[in-house]
Structure 1
Amino acid sequence: MSVSVTVREYARLTTDKVESPSLDRAHISASAFDWLCTLNGSFTRKGAALVEVEDRRWLKLDNYVGVLETPCGTRLEILPKHFEQGDCIRQSRALLCRMIQAALDLPTRNVGATDLQLFEAPLSEWVMRQFLEALDHLIKRGIRFDYQRIEEEQRFLRGQLNVVQQMRQPPSRQHHFQIRHDVFLPDRPENRLLKLALERVCAATQEPGNWRLAHELRGLLQEINASRDVSLDFKKWRNDRLMAHYQPVKPWCELILNEQMPMAVAGQARGISLLFPMEKLFERYVAAWLRKQITADATLRTQAASHYLCSHDGGRMFRLEPDLLIEGGKQRWVLDTKWKRLDAGAKSDKYGLSQSDFYQLFAYGHKYLEGGQGELTLIYPRRAVFQEALKPFEFAPGLTLNVIPFDLEELMLVVGAEQTTLPLKAAALVGLKQGAA
């Protein structure tokens, strides 16, 4: 029997009975507990951590969000820890869907009441719904067929006679013809991948609407075989003009087949498991927004890696990689995103800022900004106790650091235009000034 558990980042899970379950404390079965511990071991070997084992009965989740489906049937949905009031589950699901779509540049065909209603379902159901709708639209437009060369033996002539093979026929089989001919079939790499993704959705979905549509589409693709080599078929996926109508469904197919995930869980789990490091998701979300807001004469680079911290013995060591680098003319701006919770009223505790983050930005400023002069920016999510930008931090004369909140609901940096020189469009600058007010 499947069991759904919804929590958020850094929640604690236990096999003991929980008197008042919440988004921060929940009960899971012993088998799910053991499976998470085993999975965490594979994460740890790769330099990450999914959970922190507090004792034999308690686990503390890290900052991964998404859906995990265990072999025993437990579906663990992990949401961002951002909202504190209202319908936190619904708001968090909607936020996570928007962030995934923007961060991975996934297409969507509609943003209406249907999508909003689906936010009541777990994240994996939303992903499957987007895939099914895109696939349904594709099938209505028509799937692509391709000619394939077939060599076979028949009692009649069709296509070309394979003369060499025919001459090798023994006298007793001279009445059979060795022929080769082309057959117009839908057996293409793109269709095989879509069929495999559809098979996984059919096996994983628990939402009635998704189940019904998935099985309808499955019947329409019955003659197509599922892919047996996902990586090879994705390499063969064509992106020419004749395949343009396949492009909207491709990212969703990659997502389901674990080809485009920042982090994916593969194994013997029953359903679809999708995991995202929240820090990386927030970074990509902000980057996607900035690309639309910077002025035409500026460019945005992500994960710039052109400078190193020091030189040693004729080589360079410790590469510096700021999250975002904006270049406009001869000026540069270095930005870093942090998925952390700041408190503007806790000055005695340094607002919750990390000293190591400041060291990092200090190094970026001296290596990426001309002469170590310019503006650095740290971007944090906006919350009730962090409503507007902090007063600038001065590393040295001419080198300042701004700590700015990013409003995930209104999609804007909350800072006055007089405090930042970031090359944003005029409309965005007006929004920034109003947000700061």
Structure 2
Amino acid sequence: MSTNVIVREYARLTTAPVPPDNLDCAHISETAFDWLCDLSASFNRAGATLLQVEGRQSLKWDSYVGVIETPCGTRLEILPKHFEQGDCVVKSRTLLRKLIQAALFLKPRQVSVTALELFDAPLTEWVMGQYLNELDALVKRGIRFDYTRVEEERPFLRGQLNVVAQLRQPPGRQHQFQVRHDVYLPDRAENRLLKLALEQVAKVTQLPANWRLANELRALLAEIPASRRVAQDFRLWSRDRLMAHYGAIRPWCELVLNQQMPVAVQGTWQGVSLLFPMERLFENYVQQSLGKQLRPGVELTAQTSQADLCLHGDRGVFRLKPDLLIDTAEQRWVLDTKWKRIDQRNAEHNYNLRQSDFYQLFAYGHKYRNGGNVPRLVLIYPYWAGLQRALPVFDYGEGLQLWALPFDLEAGCLVDAEVASVPLVGRALGAVRG
């Protein structure tokens, strides 16, 4: 029997009894607790932190969001810690879906705005539903067939006679013909992958609408075999113009088959696994949003690595990689995103800012100068009740300044961008929700 547990980032997971409906603390079984401890150890060996063990009964989750399923049937859904009021679960699921779409360049297929607002299923059901909708649209448009070479024995000639095989026929079978011919079939790499993803969705979905559509599509694609070599078939996936209508479904297929997971759960257990580092989702969403709002002629570069912190002999050491660079002919902006709550009401403790972030931006400011011009430094934090406006400017001296700006995830805009003269179009400047 499966158990669904919903929490937020940095929540405590414990085997002790806890009050229900608490997104920051939840009860899990001892078997799920032990499995998560083993999983955390594998993450630590890979240099990542999934959770922290606090005693024998408690775990503290880190900043990963998504869904993970344990072998004992516990399905853990981790949502972003962003909303404090109202129905946090519904709003957080909506936000997480939007961030994942932006991070993986996915284009969801929704029948209407009403359907989008009413859809409040777990993340995995949303992914499977999007995949099924894309597959349904593809089947209605027509799946791609291809010629497959078949070599067989026939009592009559069909196609081309395989002369070498025919000469090797034993006595008494010379009346049978060894032939080769082409058959027009849907058995090609793309369709095999789609069938494998469809089979997996049909097995694990718990939403009636998804289950019904999955089985309808299974009947329509019954003649297509499921892929047995996933990685090889993805390499064979054609991207020519005749396969352009397959482009929309590929990211969803990769998501279902765990081929496009920012974090893949390794091991023999192959349960539901959709884990994303929240820092990366936030960074990618900011990048895409700003890229759409820049003025004409402004250049945006993501994850550049043009400079090193210092030289050691003839080589550079400690590569400096700011999240975003914005360049015009006269000025450069160096921007770094931080998924951390900054509180503008807590000035006596430096607004909860990290000193290491300011050292990092100080190094960027000296190493990413655009010619002789001093760049403008910007730290971007999520907008919330404690950070609704830009903080007062931080001055390093010698013309080097840093601004801490909030980014509104719901509106998709950088608030008070004009104080740092970030070259955005007018409608994107200073937008604040009422």
TM-score normalized by the length of structure 2: 0.97
Equivalence for 2:411: 410
User: Which runs of 5 or more residues in structure 2 are unaligned?
Assistant: none
Equivalence for 1:248: 248
1:229 Cα deviation after fit: 1.6
2 CA distance for matches of 1:230 and 1:296? 42
Secondary structure of 2:227's counterpart equals coil
Asked if structure 2 preserves the Cα contact closer than 8 Å seen for 1:376 and 1:402, the reply is yes
1:269 Cα deviation after fit: 3.9
1 CA distance for matches of 2:20 and 2:316? 55
Q: Does 1:80 align with 2:80?
A: yes
Asked if structure 1 preserves the Cα contact closer than 8 Å seen for 2:333 and 2:376, the reply is yes
Asked if structure 2 preserves the Cα contact closer than 8 Å seen for 1:294 and 1:423, the reply is yes
Equivalence for 2:34: 34
1:335-383 deviations in whole A, cap 9, x for unaligned?
0000001100101111010000000000001001234612110000011
Q: What letter corresponds to residue 247 of structure 2 in structure 1?
A: Q
2 CA distance for matches of 1:266 and 1:247? 28
Secondary structure of 2:326's counterpart equals strand
1:236-256 deviations in whole A, cap 9, x for unaligned?
111111111111111101111
Secondary structure of 2:172's counterpart equals helix
Deviating beyond 3 angstroms after TM superposition, the runs of 4 or more aligned structure 1 residues are 266-271, 434-437
Moved more, 101-110 or 246-255: 101-110
2 CA distance for matches of 1:358 and 1:77? 34
Secondary structure of 2:19's counterpart equals coil
1:188-210 deviations in whole A, cap 9, x for unaligned?
11001111111111122111111
Q: What letter corresponds to residue 384 of structure 2 in structure 1?
A: R
Secondary structure of 1:435's counterpart equals coil
Q: Does 1:435 align with 2:432?
A: yes
Q: What letter corresponds to residue 149 of structure 1 in structure 2?
A: R
1:122 Cα deviation after fit: 0.6
* Structure 1 residues 19 and 425: alpha-carbon distance in aligned structure 2, compared to 1, 3 A threshold: closer
User: Which runs of 5 or more residues in structure 1 are unaligned?
Assistant: none
Q: How does 1:230-309 map to 2 (within 5 A)?
A: 230-269=230-269, 271-309=271-309
Equivalence for 1:57: 57
Q: What letter corresponds to residue 251 of structure 1 in structure 2?
A: P
Q: What letter corresponds to residue 295 of structure 1 in structure 2?
A: R
Asked if structure 2 preserves the Cα contact closer than 8 Å seen for 1:282 and 1:339, the reply is yes
Asked if structure 1 preserves the Cα contact closer than 8 Å seen for 2:287 and 2:302, the reply is yes
Equivalence for 1:376: 377
1 CA distance for matches of 2:145 and 2:433? 56
Asked if structure 2 preserves the Cα contact closer than 8 Å seen for 1:415 and 1:436, the reply is no
1:268 Cα deviation after fit: 4.1
Q: What letter corresponds to residue 192 of structure 1 in structure 2?
A: R
Secondary structure of 1:171's counterpart equals coil
Q: What letter corresponds to residue 62 of structure 1 in structure 2?
A: D
1 CA distance for matches of 2:343 and 2:201? 42
Percent of matched pairs sharing the same residue: 60
2 CA distance for matches of 1:70 and 1:7? 15
Q: How does 1:12-411 map to 2 (within 5 A)?
A: 12-110=12-110, 112-118=113-119, 120-269=120-269, 271-370=271-370, 371=372, 373-411=374-412
2 CA distance for matches of 1:37 and 1:84? 29
1:413 Cα deviation after fit: 1.2
1:330 Cα deviation after fit: 4.5
1 CA distance for matches of 2:345 and 2:3? 41
2 CA distance for matches of 1:16 and 1:342? 32
Secondary structure of 1:275's counterpart equals strand
Asked if structure 2 preserves the Cα contact closer than 8 Å seen for 1:416 and 1:435, the reply is no
1:35-74 deviations in whole A, cap 9, x for unaligned?
1111111111110011100011101000000000111111
Asked if structure 2 preserves the Cα contact closer than 8 Å seen for 1:392 and 1:403, the reply is yes
Q: What letter corresponds to residue 228 of structure 2 in structure 1?
A: R
2 CA distance for matches of 1:139 and 1:83? 39
1:283 Cα deviation after fit: 0.2
2 CA distance for matches of 1:378 and 1:416? 11
Secondary structure of 1:173's counterpart equals coil
* Structure 1 residues 153 and 330: alpha-carbon distance in aligned structure 2, compared to 1, 3 A threshold: farther
Q: What letter corresponds to residue 360 of structure 1 in structure 2?
A: Q
Secondary structure of 1:343's counterpart equals coil
1:299 Cα deviation after fit: 1.6
1 CA distance for matches of 2:417 and 2:308? 33
Asked if structure 1 preserves the Cα contact closer than 8 Å seen for 2:158 and 2:181, the reply is yes
1:271 Cα deviation after fit: 3.6
1 CA distance for matches of 2:329 and 2:384? 34
Secondary structure of 1:219's counterpart equals helix
1:305 Cα deviation after fit: 0.4
